[in-house]
Structure 1
Amino acid sequence: MSFDDKVQSAFKVSLPSLIVSLVIGFFGGTFLGKYLDRIRRDYPGLLIILPGMMGLRGNVFSSMASRFSTMLYLGGLKPSVKDRKVLENVVIAMLISLIPVSLLWAIGVIRGVRYHAIEILFIVIGSTILVSLILGYFTAGITIFAFRRDVDPDSLVAPLVASMGDLLTIPTLVGFILLLERDVREFWALNGFLIVMLFFLLAVSRVGPAKFREYRQLFTTITALAMLSLVSGFTLERFSGLIASSVILGFAYPSILSSFGNYGSIVAAKTSTKLNLGEIENYLSKELLEEILALLLTTPIIGLLIGFFSSGISYLLLGVKPGIPLQLVLTYPFMALFIMLYAYSISYVLFQHNIDPDSVAIPLIANNSDIFGTIYVVAIAGLMVGA
């Protein structure tokens, strides 16, 4: 594929999915921006867990999408959501997701954030089960849909999956909060139903300890990265007031993190597939560097759209004077380039050490993108409010 073809693919395949992903992400951002002050005041422990939950869903399901893509190309998965491996992966994704978020909650409690601690735990558990079920089948469906139509899933799926996770995560958390505040009995009834459903799916899928052990590398990686996401969580909790003061960045935060993760995941997925197919012979691969350069050409558009959407939403909901945050728009492409080069390097190095990039690189990159993105947002917020 020539460089011109890669540029066309970046603009015709990746850019539309990135834009759709961005629009979806701003739906979640709208909820965060609107309810940030309430969460800071009444459920501060959620701020510690939130980046980990967002990153976790991107990690688990982007990894699942990349694994499905590789399996489809190698003939290990039928192009149908009815394939038993789809249900197995969805159930395993639920289990892999539940343990790390519970650990994040426990660390928040140990740290001293105990206000509404039990309620926060079940908000996290209930939303994780519900979102995992929806997102699992969405991931399988969109990957198979792309494959059936001869569209490279690695170029399309990761941004949509990560952003769908963002779309579901924050509104679901807010929904559980609002349900708890409206009717406590309904809140506990819904959680009980979701936990029973989890055990039912475990029985139907027949996912036992032996099957779960096949994913121990992914589980270990996800859990370790969830602990690492505490850097983002503690940073968000500490500087949530600064981010709220900038107003615009409260709405843009989820989309900024997901877009960085999207760029990293696209590069990691492409790298993983090409490495497994033997198409990359050395680190300075012209093939992948051209892919990164082609994607880089789309970043000014994404940066400008983030600024435009966040400004428009903050004006419509809060009446804030509209204005494009130039500090964000001008620096966004440089940060995205850093994320993509980092993603390629990590994927290549792990593969050289016989570690599957699908199971390790994509979760690691998505997690690190959240950390880098959170620090980036705090820095931009400081520039915007003069702190």
Structure 2
Amino acid sequence: MSWGGSVRTASGGPFRHKVQAFVLCMVLLVSTASATLGLALLAASSGPFDRAFAAQHGAEVALSANPARVTAAELAATSHVAGVTAAAGPFAEATVQTQFGGQPFGQLTLAGRAAPGGPVDDLVLTSGHWPDGPGQVVLDDNISGPGPGIGSLNLGSSTLTVTGVTGKPSLTVVGFANSITSSADGWVTPGEMTALRAPGTAPALQMLYRFTAAGSDAQIRADVAAVARTLPAGSVAGASSWLAAQAQAEGNGAIMEPFVVAFALIGLAMAVLIVGNVVSGAVIAGYQRIGVLKSIGLTPAQVVVVYLSRVGWPALAGCLLGAVAGNVLAAPVLHQSAGAYGVGSQQVPLWASVAAPLGMLALTVLAALGPAIRAGRLSAVEAIAAGRAPRAGRGYA
């Protein structure tokens, strides 16, 4: 038979064997989706803090300044100090005592920011919206323990009361955001800070920095000292380092990582085993038809082409659909993973969306290739006989 005839025979295979084609497509869909999810989890568990710190332009130093000793303009000018590569602020900052539901909720450090984005400490809004009016607050989503939710979703359980200031102002929680270095416990509009300061006091000032060298405690101390030298004496009230946040995140991640990696690897292994068994079984089950094809003149190479095409087309469809399904399934899982690791967000990397379907399709071809080559080498009589009865022997292999 000519190559054109073998191609026509191959292309007609899926349509003549609809059930087998559907099963192959569904198996590859599920396996590819599992592989995509597994690869996404492996990527999510690989240095989640460092990846989020880079993506969110985390603050290497969060400096608090005494407004009685330094002005906002003087603090803003420190962005030009040698060694500073990026800076954000100054932001008004206040530490307040709060209540929720009539019970103490704890001490919160609130900062006044007009927007979540910026060159340093680019906040990721995980739910709700940014404050756009008075009496609104966005909380850091790493605050532990039971507390308020978003106002529109919690029917009255979304209000914090600030105690210790005139009028005990109320703040409605309108969203949650992630600061990779927890630069504050919550954020309000800049105009709201006036109502949050104690009588006769001015809110502190916060400045966020990134430096050319900030990889050790010694370098951090040198960076802070360089900034402090350009300010009036006593201006720096305190400074926090990103290294403390990194150590805490890595400690939390070390507990979860073995379970995440194990789940991802099990999913990948099951996908490989299922595809290998189903595809090779589908080819072996067609040995009788292979005998018929050889009896009408197909060469061994044409038999291989026929059966690779017969499993290849439904497998390709399943792989493509599986990649899409894997991304959909991974979204809520990665959302939970991001919360557990304390990072803003995690997505399926592009390489995982490409590698999973390509890998599953390659596995399909390899799983079908061996049985198809063996079938192509059989004579017509042997192939028909192999399709009707099992080969003699114990069958261990």
TM (norm. structure 2) is: 0.27
The structure in which a higher percent of residues are helix is: 1
TM (norm. structure 1) is: 0.27
Please say which structure displays the higher CA radius of gyration.
2
